[in-house]
Structure 1
Amino acid sequence: MFKEPIPIVKIELKDAGDARKVATITFEAEEVAEREKKVCKDFANQANIPGFRKGKVPPSVIRSRFGKQMNEELKRQVSTDAYEAVLKRDDLRVHSVLKVDAGEVDSGNAATVEVTVDIEADFELPDYESYQLSISKTEVSDEEVEKELTNLCEQRASYEIVERPIEKGDYVKCSYEGSLEGKPVAEIVPEKPMYGKQANTWEEAGSEAEMGVKAISNGLIDMKVDDKKTVTEDFADDFEIPPLAGKSVSFELEVHEVREKNAPDPNSPDFLKAVKMETLDELKEKIGKDLEQRKEYQNLNGKRNQITQNLLDSEDFPLPQKAVEDEANAIFQGMAQSGMEQGVDRGEIETKKDELWKQAQSNGQARVKIGIILGRIAEKEEVKVTNEDLAQAATREAMSRRVDPQAYIKELTADRGRLSRLQRDVLHDKTIDLIAEKSTEKVCEIEDGDKH
């Protein structure tokens, strides 16, 4: 088919909302007629009509036989020339072509095509080279190694039945039922059984964990099997469950079984064999290296998060509307799907739909803004995505999905949309890494568990 574009008389632009424009492209009648002749010739070269040699069919016969198809092809070519002309404009950064409306196109008249596009607005890039990023020390202390060693031992602890009063740290099978002002809590907050009624549940006596009912875990201490008692929990005024906030709830508690946790000696041959180490010193050395790698990984993620937040905090600019809508829809669907997978009732999701959609829109705007800024920085810094980059990223995705990497790469290659998204994600990741390299790092003195 003929590829040379039709000469354009003019392009007029008008605003159609934030970061959206409608371009009206006009083609001269003579040029449209000339293109129609070439379309007719293309059809003649391919047509097999009895009584005529191929390529020698008169135009009148071709138009009579293929008039509708020719008009569709002429309209397609005019439309293509129109939106390609818009894409080539130096004064527009087209983010996406939303609509191409060619109306009626025929060889006897000028053609007018309307192309609706979302654009990327002009804005000043943030001074990303001056970012100061906070990181933590990666040195590992002896105390951290000992703490991790203790956790490792506790993961392999045995739980032996004992017949004695309960001590702190014991694991207790018990039952309890709460009541508030004579009414069962299970009826007040049926969706929160932890605070209502439990039969044969396990509790750690004297647990310091945030979850659970403190009065129960503390009340178990000194009780024995078959003992019963009443304990009272005074919930804080700002407790997360409104019907219980600021209230005193009574719990009828009964003990069924007591088990003592016995962690193994880390220097015992059986324990060292279980963790595939020859000596305790060798194990501690490995723990230290693992902790150091973990800290380095946390620093890497921390820097990426800080860069992302800095970009998000930079000056706002109009965003492509369709891109924001698409991101928001994807985020909303993801939140709803995640909720259902976690057992949240569809009706509850429906009642929170407006709240979830508002959050999805906010997150969608953030994603689009960050993506556009990273794209501009990548362009400025000439960041490129190689085939090797794509192959590595696809392999990582395949491994995370537990599928064959080669089959997954083949599947991606056949899906241009998914491949394009992966290429965009890799470009953004490489750009964030580049920003991190150009930034200044500042080591923070923080306590274990604190965040930057």
Structure 2
Amino acid sequence: MQVSVETVSTLERRVKVVVPAAKIEQDVQARIVKAARTIRMDGFRPGKVPMSLIQKRYGESIRQEALGEIIRDSFYEAVTQEGINPAGFPSIEEVSDKAGEDMTFSALVEVYPELVLSSFADIKVERPVVDIGEADLDEMIENLRKQRSTFEESTEAAADGDKVTLDFAGSIDGEAFEGGTSTNFELALGSGRMIPGFETGIVGIKAGEERDINVTFPADYQAENLRDKAAVFKITAHKVSKAVLPELDATFLAAFGVTEGGVEKFREDVRKNMTRELKQAVKNKVKTQVMDALLANNTVEAPKALVGNEINRQREAMFKQFGGNAKIDPKMLPDDLFREQAQRSVALGLLISQIIKDKSVEVDQARVKAVIEEVAESYETPEEVVNYYYSNREQLAQVEAMVLEDQVVDTVLAQAQVTEAAARYTEIVRTGR
């Protein structure tokens, strides 16, 4: 087999292959002999059909089937021989096949880019240093109480955090518009559910009170006919309900799994969860800085085939995330919706792979075990969770991939310029994901 390679562009190669006629005829004849054992024809017993008849009736289809496999196998043999690393399936451009002659074909294929990583010493990373204080713990417990709050009707004026049951009727230039009217509508003030100015206009209202509020629809409002329009809403408040926070009693504590040790044990558990969440948030914040720096410091040309595959993966993931409605074809979601993120993902994947190769990074099984055990801690029977991961190859592979990526980050950090900066718990946890 003869092979020649032409460089079409940075990432494209045209592979030309010549397959000897003898090999083709040998493969075709072998297939015909194999087919003769099972082909049935009227007047002949199975396996006794004359080869001449088989050749006449099925020879061409068998030959075409053989050629398809020969082209596929010859292509992969050729790229292996030439040290080419395909980034996707080839596009077969030309096939020349005449009986008794050598077959020639050419295939256009993308290859993985050759990367030379920039120095990690140029990367700057700021690692947050956070101390979870008593005030942070109190704030978290207060938020947990708010999440389980109940509402009681009140005669007081409505404030942020209250619920107001109201009627509203909107108009523009004195004319009502579609979707601008509702009755017995329950609105949580401060939820940001309504257009800007609507909720703030209701703050201070009391049950039984009526008032008009003036608002302007945003320029990017979903209904084009309402964009940038000034509107007046006539409001009638029927009920104002204020939140009542639960006491830190046995019932409340039991809802969080604390049946012994009282408030002290509860605070200990909350602090432990906050510490775990903070650790992950700091890790994510540092990792994001490393990944952003790798992209900024290295030029990566992402193969179209890999980007296309990643677009399809992200499209399917979004489709499943929103319930996988059988009436909606995932292909209705345009490629451009995912392209930028897909290009970033592919570029990062190539950079990470290059670091793993250059630095000989191997999965640290001790870290894998530690990660699995940490996940298992939050379950009633941790040992069952650990056994599940180690008996499920797919789940274990996901953890190993995550750990390997963490090791790559550590490899970069070992040479990067890392500084520490004091930060608050809420600041890091809210932005660290």
TM-score between the two structures when normalised by the length of structure 2: 0.72
Letter in 1 for 2:157: I
User: Do 1:170 and 1:259's aligned partners in 2 also have CA atoms closer than 8 Å?
Assistant: yes
1:289 corresponds to which of 272, 276, 298? 272
Task: Pick the aligned partner of 1:166 from 129, 151, 157.
Answer: 157
RMSD (Å) for aligned C-alpha atoms: 4.6
Structure 1 equivalent of residue 402 of structure 2: 429
Among 69, 74, 86, the alignment partner of 1:82 is 74
Determine whether 1:367 maps to 2:341: no
The aligned amino acid for 1:272 is: L
1:445 alignment partner, one of 403, 407, 422: 422
Deviates most, 207-216 or 77-86: 207-216
**Among residues 22, 30, 52, which one is paired with 1:33 in the alignment?**
22
Q: Aligned equivalents of 1:250 and 1:428: distance in 2?
A: 56
Matched, 1:94 2:86: yes
AA at the equivalent of 2:147: Q
Q: How many residues align?
A: 392
Do the aligned partners of residues 426 and 68 (structure 1) sit closer, same or farther apart at CA in structure 2, a change above 3 Å counting?
Answer: farther
- How far the C-alpha of 1:143 sits from its partner, in A, is 0.8
Amino acid across the alignment from 1:316? T
Identity %: 16
Cα distance change of structure 1 residues 90 and 136 upon mapping to structure 2, 3 Å threshold:
farther
What is the deviation of 1:333?
6.2
Change (3 A) 1:115 1:357: closer
CA distance in 2, matches of 1:324, 1:134: 31
Map of 1:26-425 to 2, 5 A cutoff? 26-28=18-20, 32-33=21-22, 36-37=25-26, 40=29, 44=33, 47-48=36-37, 67-68=59-60, 71-72=63-64, 74-76=66-68, 78-100=70-92, 103-105=95-97, 108-128=100-120, 131-162=123-154, 164-168=155-159, 169-184=161-176, 186-187=177-178, 190=179, 196-204=180-188, 207-212=189-194, 217-218=199-200, 220=202, 223-233=205-215, 235=216, 240-241=220-221, 248-266=230-248, 268-277=249-258, 278-332=261-315, 357-383=335-361
Residues 429/229 of structure 1: CA separation in 2 closer, same or farther (3 Å cut)? same
Alignment deviations for residues 157-204 of structure 1 (CA, whole Å, 9 cap, x no partner)? 222233x232535422111222232133x43xx4xxxxx333212234
Contact 2:95 2:104 (8 Å CA) reproduced: yes
Q: CA–CA distance in 2 between the matches of 1:213 and 1:427?
A: 46
Residues 327-348 of structure 1: CA deviation (Å, up to 9, x unaligned) = 3345456667867989xx99xx
Aligned amino acid, residue 241 of structure 2: R
Question: Residues 314-371 of structure 1: CA distance to partner in whole angstroms, max 9, x if unpaired?
Answer: 43343322222333345456667867989xx99xx98xx7xx5434222332222222
**C-alpha separation in 1, matches of 2:31 and 2:220:** 72
- TM-score computed with the length of structure 1 as normaliser: 0.69
Code of the residue aligned with 2:151 in structure 1: it is Y
- 1:113–1:129: structure 2 CA closer, same or farther, 3 Å change rule? farther
CA separation in 1, counterparts of 2:105 and 2:59?
Answer: 21
**Is the Cα contact below 8 Å between 1:216 and 1:253 reproduced in 2?**
no
Structure 1, unaligned runs of 5 or more: 1-7, 191-195, 397-404, 414-418
- Rate the CA distance shift 1:90–1:372 in 2: closer, same or farther, 3 A: farther
State the secondary structure of the residue aligned to 2:95: coil
Deviation of 1:11 after TM superposition, in Å, equals 1.6
Q: Deviations 1:184-233 (Å, cap 9, x if unpaired)?
A: 3x43xx4xxxxx333212234xx455443675545555544322222334
SS in 2 for 1:439: helix
Structure 1 residues 140 and 258: CA distance shift in structure 2, 3 A: same
Shift of 1:83: 0.8
Report if the CA contact (8 A) 1:383-1:430 is conserved. Answer: no
Gaps of 5+ in 2: 41-46, 376-384
Q: Which amino acid aligns with 1:230?
A: D
Q: Check 1:427–1:72 CA distance in 2 against 1; reply closer, same or farther (3 A cut).
A: farther
* Structure 2 Cα separation of the partners of residues 140 and 216 of structure 1: 37
Contact persistence 2:210–2:237 (CA under 8 A):
yes
CA shift at 1:292, angstroms? Answer: 0.9
